[in-house]
Amino acid sequence: MSKVRLIFLGTGGSIPSKKRALPAIAVKYLNTAILLDCGEGCQYRIFEAGLGLNKVKTILVTHMHGDHVLGLPGILQTYAFMGRSESLVIIGPRGLKDFVESVLSLVPCALKYKIDVIELDKKHYDVIYEDKTYKISAVEAEHTIKNYAYLITIKEYYRKIRDDVIAELGLKMSPELYRRIIRGEVGFIEACGKRVPMYQLLKIKSKFKIVYTGDTRPCRAIVELARGADILIHDATFSCELNEKARATGHSTAAEAALVAKEARVKELVLFHISARYSNASKLLVEASAIFPETILPNDMDEIERDV
Amino acid sequence: MSKVRLIFLGTGGSIPSKKRALPAIAVKYLNTAILLDCGEGCQYRIFEAGLGLNKVKTILVTHMHGDHVLGLPGILQTYAFMGRSESLVIIGPRGLKDFVESVLSLVPCALKYKIDVIELDKKHYDVIYEDKTYKISAVEAEHTIKNYAYLITIKEYYRKIRDDVIAELGLKMSPELYRRIIRGEVGFIEACGKRVPMYQLLKIKSKFKIVYTGDTRPCRAIVELARGADILIHDATFSCELNEKARATGHSTAAEAALVAKEARVKELVLFHISARYSNASKLLVEASAIFPETILPNDMDEIERDV
């Protein structure tokens, strides 16, 4: 059984404080990492965590507010200096591509790798990206500007063949084909006019689901996205006394995050995007835990590791 | 006698290392600060130094490479969140204004303060900006793209009147006018069709000169700019074995920085923009000190304080 590791690089929001940097989370699984948002300075934190910047293959940006996206140009430039050659996928709302292209043209550097920006504008995406290990889905959340909440599904497989898919494709199983499938060969198989990724011929053993909301009010779309998830990382900018402020600024209180977690029946809730006003955020944890006991509130650079 | 305080927020270059963040220096004098370059994460360092982000009135950008400028958008956004109302002066090469405007339009925030971007394109500026306390000059240095080296002159005054200027302007000295000048009133005085800042009627007691080169080869323009300066902060990316690399990338070795310091007869040399390859940079200090003994090599967050 493999482990997924979540490193909370920055857990604050809007403005940094001495205790909390701007939002960024690394999701490390096997030999790759996905970065959730890119607050300023997250490249330093990735170095500090010993994660290896080049492990990052995909960056998910929830929305185009500076606290979530201004660490991105620095990472792209550092990749250029490091001579990265592997392509990078960046997913986010419309405006992201223009931002990346503008910064890279105004602040010149010699890029030797391909940046593939995928811009979202629909309300719901069942699959934005999928490979053998990851599937990425998204829904539009409720913030002051367009913000996407992401679901990352991590898949583990048995060393067993899916006979139903074999039959459907009319494939004749040979010892050679069997070996290719079982050893997890990358690539596609073509049959009956269909082109199917090899990993789809393997039986799925488990799925581990992580939802990250970015900045949002509690909302139906997130409850649906997070239903049964293993980990829900939810905006919890304020405590419940400031619920009017949360509403006015498009954020959630810790209690509201807990109610979403409860309704979606997730396994664990992570309170995130903590306002700089809380030099001690334990009241947010107490407030949420009263509603949803399986709640944690990480500090910067805290890590959690879970079985997939 | 007042003190000037230099805080080396980030002393590395190109890519950050665990020991050295990207370039940024705060020059604090009386109740204001000037920021020299704006490497990613410098707003965090300013908080950490207890400097007060709002103390920064002027930002000098040497050139438009990412390691020197990508901390700027985050500062501008944090000012917006903090409700800054005081205007901010940002000085740098052509392209800076476009960068600032593009980022602020692509990553929206509600700015309530004025940003005054001054773009440079000439080879030499005796005065880019001057007030009672500061005078800022610049020359074009020698890097792979246009890079300006800056001279900051900090002025202190006697409580004495400059009789020559009074005479030249044909001013009739009254006890009231005397008091206004002596107490250092801000503003202008008009006489003989001239409009003269009040501080120009006071006798200068001392000038403290700080030169910051940004990224550069050793060059004549910097020797002239730095002549007799109190502090020269010079590019010292490499040690002398890598002098070919320094030449090819538009940087200087520690020895080359020391030769500039010696020729310009500055009081102190600060080695800066240290390559991430030096986990221990003492060889750079040894190399420069052999040529110019009054050399220091600060680590991140080191401070020096000098009498003006």
What ipTM did this prediction achieve?
A: 0.91
Of A59-73, A152-166, B142-156, B231-245, the least confident: A152-166
Per-residue pLDDT tens digits for B51-104: 999 999 999 999 999 999 999 999 999 999 999 999 999 999 999 999 999 999
Give the nearest partner residue to B107 out of A66, A78, A81, using CB atoms.
Answer: A66
Q: Is the pLDDT of residue A212 over 90?
A: yes
> CA–CA distance from A308 to each of A30, A58, A136, A137, A157 (Å)?
11, 19, 16, 18, 11
pLDDT band at A185 (very low <50, low <70, confident <90, very high): confident
Q: Is the pLDDT of residue B176 over 80?
A: yes
Cβ-defined contact of A47 to B21 (cutoff 8 Å): no
**B186: closest CA of chain A, how far (Å):** 34
How many distinct structural domains can be found in chain B? 2
Contacts of A95 in chain B (CB under 8 A): 106
The stretch B197-222 carries a mean pLDDT of 96
**A230: closest CA of chain B, how far (Å):** 32
On whether any CB of chain A is under 8 Å from the CB of B21, the answer is yes
On whether any CB of chain A is under 8 Å from the CB of B14, the answer is yes
State residue B57's pLDDT score. Answer: 96
Of B23-32, B146-155, B170-179, the least confident: B170-179
Closest CA to A141 of A222, A235, A246, A209: A222
Same domain? For B146 and B169 the reply is no
Mutate to test the interface with B, among A9, A14, A15 (most CBs of B within 10 A): A15
Cβ-defined contact of A107 to B65 (cutoff 8 Å): yes
Task: Give the end of a domain, one of B149, B172, B203.
Answer: B203
The yes-or-no answer on residue B67 being catalytic is yes
Same domain? For B139 and B52 the reply is yes
Catalytic residue among A37, A67, A230, A300: A67
Task: Give the end of a domain, one of A203, A222, A239.
Answer: A203
On whether any CB of chain A is under 8 Å from the CB of B102, the answer is yes
On whether any CB of chain A is under 8 Å from the CB of B81, the answer is yes
Q: Is the pLDDT of residue B285 over 90?
A: yes
Same domain? For A166 and A50 the reply is no
Contacts of A21 in chain B (CB under 8 A): 44
The stretch B242-267 carries a mean pLDDT of 98
In CATH, what number is assigned to the domain containing residue A137?
3.60.15.10
Same domain? For B129 and B231 the reply is yes
Q: Is the pLDDT of residue B2 over 80?
A: yes
On whether any CB of chain A is under 8 Å from the CB of B42, the answer is no
State residue B168's pLDDT score. Answer: 87
The stretch A223-252 carries a mean pLDDT of 98
Same domain? For B57 and B89 the reply is yes
The pairing of beta strand B56-60 with beta strand B88-93: parallel
Task: Give the end of a domain, one of B203, B237, B258.
Answer: B203
Nearest 5°: CA angle at B159, between B157 and B163?
90
The stretch A45-64 carries a mean pLDDT of 95
Same domain? For A72 and A116 the reply is yes
* Cα separation, A198 vs A127, whole angstroms: 18
Of B39-43, B165-169, B256-260, the least confident: B165-169
Mutate to test the interface with B, among A107, A215, A273 (most CBs of B within 10 A): A107
State residue A67's pLDDT score. Answer: 96
Contact assessment for residue A45 and residue A24, using Cβ atoms and an 8 Å cutoff:
yes
Same domain? For A127 and A167 the reply is no
Same domain? For A178 and A121 the reply is no
Q: Is the pLDDT of residue A117 over 80?
A: yes
pLDDT band at B239 (very low <50, low <70, confident <90, very high): very high
Full residue range of the structural domain in which residue A165 is found = 159-203
**B43: closest CA of chain A, how far (Å):** 8
Same domain? For B199 and B211 the reply is no
Cβ-defined contact of A73 to B82 (cutoff 8 Å): no
Same domain? For B148 and B169 the reply is no
Q: Is the pLDDT of residue A221 over 90?
A: yes
The stretch B279-301 carries a mean pLDDT of 97
* Cα separation, A162 vs A118, whole angstroms: 31
Same domain? For B141 and B8 the reply is yes
Cβ-defined contact of B107 to A70 (cutoff 8 Å): yes
Contacts of A17 in chain B (CB under 8 A): 47
Size of interface A-B (CB pairs under 8 A): 93
Same domain? For A259 and A295 the reply is yes
Cβ-defined contact of A43 to B16 (cutoff 8 Å): yes
The stretch A67-84 carries a mean pLDDT of 95
On whether any CB of chain B is under 8 Å from the CB of A52, the answer is no
pLDDT band at A227 (very low <50, low <70, confident <90, very high): very high
Percentage of chain B exceeding pLDDT 90: 86
SS3 sequence, chain B? CCEEEEEEEECEECECCCCCCCCEEEEEECCEEEEECCCCCHHHHHHHCCCCHHHEEEEECCCCCHHHHCCHHHHHHHHHHHCCCCCEEEEEECCHHHHHHHHHHHCCCCCCCCEEEEEECCCEEEEEEECCCEEEEEEECCCCCCCEEEEEEEEEEEEEECHHHHHHHCCCCCHHHHHHHHCCCCCEEEECCEEEEHHHHEEEEEEEEEEECCCCCCCHHHHHHHCCCCEEEEECCECHHHHHHHHHHCCCEHHHHHHHHHHHCCCEEEEECECCCCCCCHHHHHHHHHHCCCEECCCCCCEEEEEC
Q: Is the pLDDT of residue B165 over 80?
A: yes
pLDDT mean across residues, chain B:
95
Percentage of chain A exceeding pLDDT 90: 85
